[in-house]
Structure 1
Amino acid sequence: MLFAPPRLRKGDVVAVATPSAPVMTPRRLARGAEALRELGYEVRMGPLAAGGVQNATPDQRVDELNRFFADPEVRCVVASLGGLNSNAVLEALDYDALRADPKIILGYSDITTILLAVHRRAGLVTFHGPTLLPELAEYPQILPYTRDKLLRAVARPQPLGRLTPAEEHTDEMLLWDESDDRARRLRPGDGWQWLHGGTGTGPLLGGNLETIGLLAGTEYLPDLTGAVVFLETCATDIRVVEQSLTQLRMLRVFDKMAALLLGRSFRAPDGFETALRQLVRSTTARYRVPVVAGLDIGHSDPMLTLPLGVRARVDARTRSVEVLDAAVR
């Protein structure tokens, strides 16, 4: 059974958790908290970020999450940022608490493990979208596409409907707390590219390509049979992407999927995006399902917020990607 959490309302408590990498930029953290307040939410900062804890153990990280999961006042838990080791908290997460009191769980990148595990073990719709430091703390404000797509997903009990590409994007890197006192430069977007035709409908499931592989063979990876799979990568070496795609192919993910959505590459060298699309095109050619590349998901600024578990339809004839079900109630 799939549970949709209650929609986020003005005045609700949004908790900031740090299940992976530590927070090392206090000024950026404060700006992210203020951005949430400006959206109308009360912010509850987790002790790991608030205390600047740099070497938190898995027990400390899971305790922070479970306290938020059990708190009836908390309506949304957003990750402060990604990292490398959020899979260390999965075995001790309080999935029963989330089944009893569903909340919005939000993040991407390494947080993919938590999104997929919570969806698999608690049957809860989770949200692949912005984290606090990289996106919500953007200077001088959250990028409008990121903000609008987030609120549309978590604050409105209606289907997202047809998704649209961002008109602008940026890959510019500014050092947090040092040189992020000007807006990053945006350049025109180039839309999405259809690599293979066809139509497919199924639950939206996916996340960071390399991180999904960490769950292979575990009880935390959902069944991807019939899914509209979405993948994004922060890799900049095409061999790393090929390695991860090969793992999914060997797991027969591509045999079972209804469609594939591929995110735009992240701060990659010249020619990488073209090589990425060629690799995915050739890898998925035999499966005869629609494949779309260049989506604004994951390591992409601005970004979509995608709800995991709700139905989506991908149709090459109409060049459309549509989310069919509401993600919140």
Structure 2
Amino acid sequence: MEEYDYHFDNYTEAEYYDIIEPCSKARSQNIENVLQLFVYPVICFVGLIGNALVTVMYALYKRTKSMTDVCLLHVAIADILFAVALPLIIYSEQHEWSMGNWSCKLLRGIYSVNLYSGMLLLACISGGQYLSIVHARRSSAPLYSHLVCAAAWLLALLLSVPTFVFHERYQTESSYFNITDSEDVPYVCFFKFQSDVITAVPRFQLALGFILPLLITGFCYSSITVTLLQDKNFQRHKAVHVVLTVVLVFVVCHMPYNITLLYYITNMFQEQECSDFESAELAVIITRSLAYLHACLNPLLYALIRVNFRKHGKNYVSARWSSCSTSEISISMRRSTSDNGTLFIM
């Protein structure tokens, strides 16, 4: 099958109409419309309510918080920020990114910060559990834990700078897709590079902000597993299982989108057949929805696998239903806590 050069710098508009048949976006656009109308609003609602409940329960939980508790609080905050931004992303995409260039950069940057802060915070959790279990170090003070989380946020912001810089609001080429002369050429918000050399930037982001923390996490939990095989402390086993589940869900949600996006960007300056391009764009849309889904999953995981979290959640909801004061709710939660329990993992 003949390959076409979609980067038509060497052709006039009249010439490439004779060379290529425009690609159709109908299938990918229909799927994206369904996701935006029926899936993303659910993600937004559950993500906001669930993660807000996590932060409220953390604030009312009066016993000592572990480093894992502190880091998971920050993960919840990152998910809240993304859930707040998601309706704006949906609106902008449904109206061909009508909100301007600054909002394009900001909203795409928020996803990037959410991704890298989440991965870095999970690496911090794995490092803390590694020191606690393998090297028998005492748990860090909450202030130290918050400082570690602040460093993770700062690094996530630095890693997201290229996303803020290279995302642009621009018009797609009308001849690239099946758009007639009478139709307005749509605006999109996406990476825009001037050369294929700059496409190395997302690879650097993914390597430093996702792959490296994932390797660190893998090393930590491999060492922890070896130690736990010789340990009969089942409380430690449960703590590791919870965090490992959170890590696995994070990776399963975010890795497909980032690998697909990397492939898509790498091939932006390559000759492609229409079918290949359409398949790549469809893969980006589907895997992106999986990545967005993660924003609402952690509270559901805590509710499903942690008895303490379910117990405190029920106490909080029932207390609010009966119009108790904040101090009464706090006392209720403190009384219901087991001696050795923490909020998220024990």
Larger Rg: 2
The structure richer in strand per residue is 1
Fold match by TM threshold 0.5: no
- TM-score, normalised on structure 2? 0.22
The structure richer in helix per residue is 2
Which protein, 1 or 2, shows the higher relative CO under an 8 Å CA cutoff with sep ≥ 6? 2
- TM-score, normalised on structure 1? 0.23
